[in-house]
Amino acid sequence: MVILNNVFQPSYRDADKAHIGSMDQYHKLYEQSIQDNEGFWAEQAERLHWYKKWDTIKEVDYTKAAIKWYEGGQLNVSYNCIDRHIEAGHGDQTALIWEGNNPDEDRSLTYNDLLSEVSKFANVLKAHGVRKGDRVCIYMQMIPELAIAMLACTRIGAVHSIVFGAFSSDALRDRINDSSCKVLITQDTGVRGTKQDIPMKVHGDHAVAKTPSIEHIIVVKRTGADVEMQNGRDLWWHEEMEKVDSNCDPEHMGAEDPLFILYTSGSTGQPKGVMHTTGGYLVYASMTHHYVFDYQPGDIYWCTADIGWVTGHSYIVYGPLSNRATTIMFEGVPNYPDFGRFWQVCEKHKVNIFYTAPTALRALMREGDDFVTKHDRSSIKLLGTVGEPIKEPEWTWYYNVVGEQNCPIVDTWWQTETGGILITPLPACTPLKPGSATYPFFGIQPVILTPEGEEIDGNPAEGLLAIKDSWPGQMRTIYGDHKRFFDTYFAMFRNYYFTGDGAKRDEDGCYWITGRVDDVLNVSGHRLGTAEVEGAIGAHEAVAEAAVVGFPHDIKGQGIYAFVTLMAGVEANDDILGGIKQKVRDLIGPHATPDKIQFAPALPKTRSGKIMRRILRKIGENELDSLGDTSTLAEPAVVDDLVKNRK
Ligand code: WT7
């Protein structure tokens, strides 16, 4: 290992056979990917099996938010993730290792097993009227049937919409209705950490009471807990699987046919149904997984994310399986039964590549090194992080203690919208700087813009992060609202995709993501809109008005700070406080619960009545010396009260 000015160049175990072995090679391929962009992406698409090749590589017009890749091409995602590996003689290879929440439970599926399960479930969906283009909602914990259900949808061309299992029934209902899903797939109850009976089916029932489009609920028996089954509407997964055969021809899908919808938070109260399509997404997920994780045949690969978020879509299921990886799916949490769980699983399954979130590292590093060192981690060759900025303390701990200074760390920057990783080190060559996602991936042209939309050339630079030109993994629209797609990402800066993040570029051209510049929070890697949380708080009958900001939180990265004004004549008390938190859990989910609630007689507003969030943010961050100009406030004295009663 070499360290220069806090630049790390670890000796990587697989350096000799790495897919990209030197910075020279990186620069050469990167140049090519920009100079001959279409040629490059044509070549990369060959990593997949196509029933029919495309007519055009790319047709992109950001002035209309019109994005197409590989138009005219035909392929099937499940065929690419399963069948072709079997046809190449690898049917007995383990595709999926499932590690249960409770340490004595695990299961593994070969590619042959996966084909049979996926084909059967595809036939179940067909038998219940699901056709190409229909939307299917999946609301589950991390059990193998979740991956099987996704792949079954892709086999018949149904569009899945996965709703993270911690969302409340109200949030589930809204997402089902937004894309009129025909079927809901869930499980009896869920198991996660010390919680052994998360009422998934009950939430599903509540949601479906107000979703006219749902015809059936298909229920996996995970725990055997008693659940109510409504005759005609509700079906048991295991019973349905017995009625069908295990052959199902994969549908030939157009490259631009929708693959999935995944809801994410934006700056309004209404979540956005991010839509990805078939060909470009799979090319991009597959290729990034191959290069960024330097996946080599036989590697055991573990991404600890939940499939309810995009990381799980791209880097537990589609990227790895398209590359014939052995991918681990973990039902549990990092601190159950103890804080050594991640490393115990690494030891048990001899994990080679480990990908997790900074928030988990921050939670674990506080518990001491013994939980790590008592497990054999010698199998690990490569570490990764995603989801939020990683800071030096947890980077260094990850590097020194978990990786014993032998493993490169890939700090991967990307978004639900981007489908896959856009800025990242490559493990065998990129010099690492703790906290920097370093350089753009092939074909990606990041720029730093001024607020006026001028590109800042030269280094160093700091400003707004945007991407010039398109890449195949880019989202194509917001389901049912193309105008919002245009307005959110392309209206502010002409001919760029605007990310919503701020960034710096240092002397060496390395990118450092500084965090969101819009009203989006990142709480333990979970994306939440301040407007969504405000809407939920405002639904409590005692609340007149609420404003939510983020504040630095030791473990979560960002915590949620809510300023709440109650209705005239209502006195703040613990009941109201508890009631507000409960409201947020009911309307969104426990992950959105405010960490701090401050009752305030009034919120700081301009004379035209606009809440001055800048001031609230500063109070939340405890930067009281830099509240800035408060003279334009309608009632400057409001701020004194807020500062005095700061939580
Ligand atoms: C936002 C996207 C990407 C999958 C998981 C989150 C932040 C993501 C990093 C990173 C700094 C990061 C950004 C981005 N983010 N990765 N490596 N370094 N920040 O997806 O929920 O769509 O959130 O997460 O702010 O915009 P998401």
SS (H, E, C) 439-454: CECCCCEEEEECCCCC
Residue 469 has pLDDT above 90, yes or no: yes
Residue 74 is predicted with a pLDDT of: 99
Ligand 1 atom nearest the C-alpha of 414 is 3
Question: What is the position in ligand 1's atom list of the atom closest to the CA of 412?
Answer: 17
Tokens representing residue 585 in the block: 């859990």
Q: How close is the Cα of 454 to the center of ligand 1, in Å?
A: 24
Centroid of ligand 1 to alpha carbon of 527 (angstroms): 8
Percentage of the chain beyond pLDDT 70 is 99
Is the confidence at residue 5, as pLDDT, over 80? Answer: no
Confidence band for 631, pLDDT divided at 50, 70 and 90: confident
Closest protein CA for atom 21 of ligand 1: 527
Rounded CA separation 395/512 (Å): 14
- Residue 158 is predicted with a pLDDT of 99
What is the DSSP code (8-state) at residue 620? H
User: How many whole angstroms from 311 Cα to the centroid of ligand 1?
Assistant: 10
pLDDT in tens, 56-69: 999 999 999 999 99
The backbone torsions φ and ψ at residue 43, rounded to the nearest 5 degrees and listed phi first, read: -65, -45
DSSP character at residue 510: -
Query: What does the mean pLDDT of the chain come to?
Result: 97
Q: What percent of the chain has pLDDT over 90?
A: 95
Q: Which residue's CA is the nearest one to ligand 1's atom 7?
A: 388
Report d(CA 474, CA 480) in Å as an integer.
17
> Residue 10's pLDDT is what?
78
Binding site membership of 205 for ligand 1 (Cβ less than 6 Å):
no
420 lines ligand 1 (CB under 6 A): no
Report the separation in Å between the CA atom of 570 and the middle of ligand 1, taken as the mean of its atom positions: 40
Residues β-bridged to residue 52: 74
Residue 425 CB less than 6 A away from ligand 1: no
pLDDT of residue 36: 98
Which of 195, 421, 460 is CA-nearest to residue 319? 421
Q: Which residue has the tokens 């407007």?
A: 531
Query: What is the distance in A from the centroid of ligand 1 to the CA of 539?
Result: 29
pLDDT of residue 2: 67
Q: Which atom of ligand 1 is nearest to the CA of 525?
A: 6
Beta strands in 340-471 (DSSP E): 353-356, 382-386, 409-412, 445-449, 461-468
Nearest Cα neighbor of 353 from 398, 314, 383 is 383
Q: Is 501 in the pocket of ligand 1 (CB under 6 A)?
A: yes
Give the chain's domains with CATH numbers: 3-77+256-514 (3.40.50.12780), 113-249 (3.40.50.980), 524-644 (3.30.300.30)
> How far is Cα 412 from Cα 417, in angstroms, rounded to an integer?
14
386 Cα–ligand 1 center, Å: 7
Mean pLDDT, to the nearest integer, of 36-41?
Answer: 98
Q: What is the mean pLDDT of residues 474-492?
A: 98
Residue nearest to atom 18 of ligand 1 (CA): 389
The pLDDT confidence band at residue 627, using thresholds 50, 70 and 90, is confident
